[in-house]
Chain A
Amino acid sequence: MDLQDLVIPEGVIAHLKVTSKKQALQELAAKAAQVTELDERKIFETLLERERLGSTGVGQGIAIPHGKLASLDKLHGLFARLDHPIDFDSVDEKPVDLIFLLLAPESAGADHLKALARISRLLRNQKMVEKLRATENNEALYALLTEPSASATSVA
Chain B
Amino acid sequence: MLEAQTVAIFIVAGLVCAAILSSLLSFRIGSPLLLVFLVVGLAAGEDGFGLVVFNDAGTAYLIGSIALSVILFDSGYATRFRSYRAAGVPAVVLATAGVLLTAGLTGTAAKFLFNVGWLEGMLLGTILASTDAAAVFFLLRVGGVTIRERIRSLLEIESGTNDPMAIFLTLTLVELIAAGAGIETLSAGLLGRFAWAMLGGALIGAAGGWLILVAVNRIQFDKPLYPLIVLSLAVTVFAMASIVEASGFLATYIAGLIAGNMRMRYSQALEDFQSGVTWFCQIAMFLTLGLLATPSEFPAVFAGALAIAAFLIFFARPLAVWICLSLFRFSPADMTFVSWVGLRGAVSILLGIIPLVGGIGDGQSYFNIAFIVVLLSLAIQGWSIGPVARWLGLLVPPIKGPVDRIQLELPTASRHELVTYKIAPDSPVALGARMPRWARPSLVIRDGASMSARRAGRLKEGDSIYIFVTPRQVQLLDKLFARPVPEDEFTSTFFGDFILKPDARMGDVAPLYDFSVSEEEAELSAEEFLLRRLPQPLDMGDRTTIGTVDLIVRALNEEGTRVLEVGISVQPMRPSLETMPLPLPASVRKVLLKAIGSMRSGMREE
Residues on A lying within 8 angstroms of B by beta carbon are 49-50, 52-56, 58-60, 64, 66-68, 91-92, 106, 108-110, 112-114, 116-117, 120-121, 124-126, 155-156
Q: How far is the CB of B482 from chain A (nearest CB, A)?
A: 12
Q: How far is the CB of B550 from chain A (nearest CB, A)?
A: 11
Cα distance, A112 to B511, chains bound together (Å): 11
A113 touches B548 (CB 8 A): yes
29 A–B contacts, CB within 8 A, in A order: A53-B501, A53-B505, A53-B509, A53-B512, A54-B498, A54-B499, A54-B500, A55-B499, A56-B498, A58-B487, A58-B497, A60-B486, A64-B498, A66-B512, A92-B484, A106-B511, A108-B514, A113-B514, A113-B549, A114-B571, A117-B497, A117-B570, A120-B497, A120-B498, A120-B570, A121-B489, A121-B492, A124-B492, A156-B571
Chain A residues contacting B291 (CB-CB under 8 Å) are none
Residue among B484, B491, B499, B565 with max Cβ neighbours from chain A (10 Å) = B499
Which residue of chain B lies nearest to A57 when distances are taken between CB atoms in the complex? Answer: B499
Q: Which of B460-516 contact A (CB under 8 A)?
A: 484, 486-489, 491-492, 497-501, 504-505, 508-509, 511-514
Which residue of chain A lies nearest to B513 when distances are taken between CB atoms in the complex? Answer: A113
User: Known contacts being A116-B570, A117-B571, A121-B489, is A58 close to B499, with CB within 8 Å?
Assistant: yes
Cα distance, A92 to B566, chains bound together (Å): 14
Chain B residues contacting A49 (CB-CB under 8 Å) are 508
Which residue of chain A lies nearest to B484 when distances are taken between CB atoms in the complex? Answer: A92
User: Known contacts being A56-B498, A126-B488, is A68 close to B511, with CB within 8 Å?
Assistant: yes
Cα distance, A68 to B500, chains bound together (Å): 17
A113 touches B571 (CB 8 A): yes
Q: Which of B213-252 contact A (CB under 8 A)?
A: none
Q: How far is the CB of A57 from chain B (nearest CB, A)?
A: 8
Q: How far is the CB of B393 from chain A (nearest CB, A)?
A: 15
A116 touches B497 (CB 8 A): yes
B548 touches A68 (CB 8 A): no
Chain A residues contacting B549 (CB-CB under 8 Å) are 113
Cα distance, A124 to B490, chains bound together (Å): 10
Chain A residues contacting B513 (CB-CB under 8 Å) are 113
Which residue of chain B lies nearest to A62 when distances are taken between CB atoms in the complex? Answer: B487
Cα distance, A121 to B488, chains bound together (Å): 8
Which residue of chain A lies nearest to B554 when distances are taken between CB atoms in the complex? Answer: A91
Chain B residues contacting A66 (CB-CB under 8 Å) are 512
User: Known contacts being A58-B497, A91-B565, is A53 close to B504, with CB within 8 Å?
Assistant: yes
Residue among A50, A56, A67, A124 with max Cβ neighbours from chain B (10 Å) = A124
User: Known contacts being A58-B497, A124-B488, is A50 close to B571, with CB within 8 Å?
Assistant: no
B512 touches A68 (CB 8 A): yes
Q: How far is the CB of B484 from chain A (nearest CB, A)?
A: 7
Cα distance, A46 to B457, chains bound together (Å): 45
Cα distance, A117 to B512, chains bound together (Å): 14
Chain B residues contacting A106 (CB-CB under 8 Å) are 511
Residue among B486, B511, B565 with max Cβ neighbours from chain A (10 Å) = B486
Q: How far is the CB of A18 from chain B (nearest CB, A)?
A: 22
Partner of A110, one of B487, B488, B504, B548: B548
Known pairs A53-B509, A53-B512 / 7 extra A-B pairs, C-beta < 8 Å: A53-B508, A64-B497, A66-B512, A106-B511, A113-B514, A121-B489, A126-B486
B499 touches A91 (CB 8 A): yes
Cα distance, A118 to B497, chains bound together (Å): 10
Q: How far is the CB of B481 from chain A (nearest CB, A)?
A: 16
Cα distance, A60 to B484, chains bound together (Å): 10
A58 touches B498 (CB 8 A): yes
Chain B residues contacting A50 (CB-CB under 8 Å) are 512
Cα distance, A67 to B512, chains bound together (Å): 7
Chain B residues contacting A113 (CB-CB under 8 Å) are 513-514, 548-549, 570-571
Cα distance, A106 to B498, chains bound together (Å): 19
User: Known contacts being A49-B508, A117-B497, is A124 close to B489, with CB within 8 Å?
Assistant: yes
Residue among B487, B500, B549 with max Cβ neighbours from chain A (10 Å) = B487
